[in-house]
């Protein structure tokens, strides 16, 4: 770390005490971009680090709604509009009881660099609420979404800020949110992505994060003349990202042996094939049940209550549930058991100790902001289709997604090799590469646009 990066990190810590996830995300980025800051004095002269760590705007609002029994309920709504240097704010909405300002600031901060890596014109933002959709009826979810959008609609728009889904926000929620926006504003625009196909959505958007993460893993393996055929894979989560990631791994001949949810994980030594995955999708998307039912339904599978899957021996690991789901010890266990690749579908799933363990072991490690950027990239493709008022075929969208993931990998790889001193013939530090590549584009745009 240089004097400049240490000084800014201290300031950020002092100003954002009590937001550990945000500080963790900032530390990871700042600690890896020092070489590019030392080589280009203009970033320090323009106080880019001080500015890029401060959201442009943070909106916090009350969300009152009524449950099915007629009780009045109050939640807190947020939108963090982090950085608009290279395009309108873009990023998902998370509905989960753990949501608070610090978590949304970490997610918004990550989104700035991720969106930059996609090569598309999107700034970074994130929002959501501490509302828990679990156990709520469709009508309760609808009333909540309508109340949330009644306030949020003042702050967003197709050229201003374009939200999408994240944990707890899928097709159902996007539908209710879009309906209320359209009603209040009397306009049918691409203000949200992740829409259904019959009213402006894009083919492949639901699949995009999971598919994209697998495409990124393929690119990392290709640098070692390897591929996914026959690889034993451990996956966490069983939501949107995990489901389509497992689908693509199966298509490419890998064997997925675990999935999980917030209560525990299932281990299926035979592999979660296409037929079993279809059952999981019905369980999670229609019946909204628990993953433990898998082990009751499929003989030979086991369920581990309250545990995460990282002690299961594997070739490749794909965390797809939530932040900090792999700590230093769990990362060490993965490596000890032979894991050679980690590609992150979730945002910041590995803590800083865990990342250091991957880097020390020199495994292929695809950090979230590069590996899971396919979701927001395909949101960018949805925005492009909405502007054109055209729908592309799934082959077209998938080909564009694939080529974006190849480009993100190449960009991170090249920037790592140019700037990060620890790369060798067989090791690429994709953390440094992704952070530097994402940072430079946004920072240069901020300088071009003056002190705003």
Where on the chain is the footprint of ligand NDP (CB under 6 A)? 165-168, 170, 209, 237-242, 261-262, 320-322, 345-347, 372, 375
The one of ligand 2IT, ligand NDP, none whose footprint includes residue 261, by CB under 5 to 8 A per kind, is ligand NDP
Q: Which does 180 bind (CB under 5 to 8 A by kind): ligand NDP, ligand 2IT, none?
A: none
Residues 99-138 interacting with ligand 2IT (rule: CB under 6 A): 114
Nearer to ligand NDP by Cβ, of 44 and 330: the residue is 330
How far does CA 163 lie from the centroid of its chain? 13
The DSSP secondary-structure symbol of 282 reads I
Query: Which residues, 6+ apart, have CB-to-CB distance to 70 below 8 Å?
Result: none
Interface with ligand 2IT (CB under 6 A), residue total: 11
Handedness of CA 280, 365, 24, 33 (dihedral sign): negative
The strand order across the sheet containing 341-343 reads 302-305, 264-267, 255-261, 232-235, 316-318, 341-343, 364-366
Choose the stretch contacting ligand 2IT; rule: CB under 6 A; options: 49-57, 84-92, 210-218, 267-275: 84-92
Query: What is the Cβ-side half-sphere exposure of residue 146, based on CA atoms within 13 angstroms?
Result: 13
* Cβ-based neighbours of 158, under 8 Å, separated by 6 or more: 88, 189, 190, 191, 383, 386, 387
Strand pairing class (72-83; 89-95): unpaired
Task: Select the binding partner of residue 193 from ligand 2IT, ligand NDP, none (C-beta < 5 to 8 A, by kind).
Answer: ligand 2IT
Q: Are 122 and 130 in contact (CB under 8 A)?
A: no
Toward ligand NDP, which CB reaches closer, 102 or 168? 168
CA dist 198 to 183, 191, 387, Å?
18, 16, 16
Nearest distance, CB of residue 66 and ligand NDP, angstroms: 24
Q: Pick the catalytic residue: 90, 105, 114, 126?
A: 126
Only one of the segments 68-76, 138-146, 223-231, 371-379 lies at the binding site for ligand 2IT (rule: CB under 6 A); that segment is: 371-379
Which of 83, 193, 218, 250: binder of ligand 2IT (CB under 6 A)? 193
Minimum CB distance to ligand NDP smaller for 243 or for 357? 243
Q: Which stretch binds ligand 2IT (CB under 6 A): 56-64, 72-80, 88-96, 443-451?
A: 88-96
Tokens 């492949």 belong to 204
CB of 251 to ligand NDP, least distance (A): 19
Q: To 10 degrees, what angle do helices 394-419 and 205-222 make?
A: 40
- Stretch in the footprint of ligand 2IT (CB under 6 A) among 85-93, 151-159, 352-360, 430-438: 85-93
Residue 451 CB: number of other CB atoms within 10 A?
8
Q: Which is nearer to ligand 2IT, 307 or 403 (CB)?
A: 403
Look up residue 96 and give its DSSP letter: -
Which residues, numbered 162-181, are part of the site for ligand 2IT (CB under 6 A)? 164, 166
Q: Which is nearer to ligand NDP, 329 or 449 (CB)?
A: 329
Residues in CB range of 238: below 8 A, 6 or more apart: 259, 260, 261, 280, 283, 284, 291
Residue 268 C-beta: closest distance to ligand 2IT, Å: 27
Of 32 and 238, nearer to ligand NDP (C-beta) is 238
* String of contacts with ligand 2IT for each residue 339-358, x by CB under 6 A: --------x-----------
Q: What is the DSSP string of 293-317?
A: HHHHHSTT-EEEET--GGGS--SEE
In whole angstroms, how close is the CB of 230 to ligand NDP at the nearest point? 26
Which run of H or E residues covers position 203? none
126 belongs to the catalytic site: yes
Distance of CA 149 to the CA centre of its chain: 22
Binding of residue 323 to ligand 2IT (CB under 6 A)? no
- Complex with ligand 2IT: residue 91 or 200, whichever CB lies closer: 91
Picking from 206, 259, 268, the residue whose alpha carbon sits closest to that of residue 237 is 259
**CB under 5 to 8 A by kind: which of ligand NDP, ligand 2IT, none does 83 bind?**
none
377 or 423, CB closer to ligand NDP? 377
Smallest separation, CB 146 to ligand 2IT (Å) = 21
Q: Which distant-in-sequence residues (6+ apart) come within 8 Å of 402 by Cβ?
A: 215
Interface residues with ligand 2IT (CB under 6 A) are: 90-92, 114, 164, 166, 193, 347, 375-376, 379
Could you give the residue numbers annotated as active site?
126
């Amino acid at each position: 770390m240089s004097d400049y990066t240490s000084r800014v990190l201290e300031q950020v810590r002092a100003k954002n005490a009590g937001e550990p996830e945000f500080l963790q995300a900032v530390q990871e980025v700042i600690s890896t971009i020092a070489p590019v800051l030392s080589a280009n004095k203009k970033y320090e002269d323009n106080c880019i680090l001080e500015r890029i760590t401060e959201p442009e705007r943070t909106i916090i609002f009350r969300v009152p709604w009524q449950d099915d029994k007629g009780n009045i309920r109050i939640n807190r709504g947020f939108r963090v509009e982090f950085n608009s240097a290279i395009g309108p704010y873009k990023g998902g909405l998370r509905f989960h009881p753990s949501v608070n300002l610090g978590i949304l600031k970490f997610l918004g901060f990550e989104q700035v660099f991720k969106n930059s890596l996609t090569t598309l014109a999107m700034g970074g933002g994130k929002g959501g609420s501490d509302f828990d959709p679990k156990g709520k009826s469709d009508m309760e979810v609808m009333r909540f979404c309508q109340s949330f959008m009644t306030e949020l609609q003042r702050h967003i728009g197709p050229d201003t800020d374009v939200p999408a889904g994240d944990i707890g926000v899928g097709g159902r929620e996007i539908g209710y949110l879009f309906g209320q926006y359209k009603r209040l504003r009397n306009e049918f625009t691409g203000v949200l992505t992740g829409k259904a196909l019959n009213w402006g959505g894009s083919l492949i958007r639901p699949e995009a994060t999971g598919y994209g993460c697998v495409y990124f893993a393929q690119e990392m393996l290709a640098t070692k003349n390897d591929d996914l055929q026959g690889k034993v894979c451990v996956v966490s989560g069983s939501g949107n990202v995990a489901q389509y990631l497992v689908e693509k791994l199966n298509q490419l001949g890998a064997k997925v042996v675990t999935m999980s949810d917030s209560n525990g994980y299932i281990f299926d030594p035979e592999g979660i094939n296409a037929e079993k995955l279809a059952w999981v999708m019905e369980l999670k998307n229609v019946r909204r049940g628990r993953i433990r039912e898998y082990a009751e339904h499929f003989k030979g599978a086991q369920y581990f209550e309250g545990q995460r899957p990282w002690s299961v021996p594997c070739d490749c690991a794909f965390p797809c549930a939530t932040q900090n789901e792999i700590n230093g010890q769990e990362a060490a266990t993965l490596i000890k058991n032979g894991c050679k690749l980690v590609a992150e579908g979730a945002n910041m799933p590995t803590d800083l100790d865990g990342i250091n363990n991957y880097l020390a072991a020199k495994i292929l490690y695809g950090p979230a902001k590069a590996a899971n950027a396919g979701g927001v990239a395909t949101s960018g493709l949805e925005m492009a289709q909405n502007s054109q008022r055209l729908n592309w075929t799934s082959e077209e969208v998938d080909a564009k997604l694939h080529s974006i993931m190849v480009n993100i990998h190449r960009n991170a790889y090249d920037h790592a090799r140019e700037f990060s001193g620890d790369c060798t013939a067989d090791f690429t530090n994709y953390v440094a590469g992704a952070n530097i590549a994402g940072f430079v584009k946004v920072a240069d745009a901020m300088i071009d646009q003056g002190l705003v």
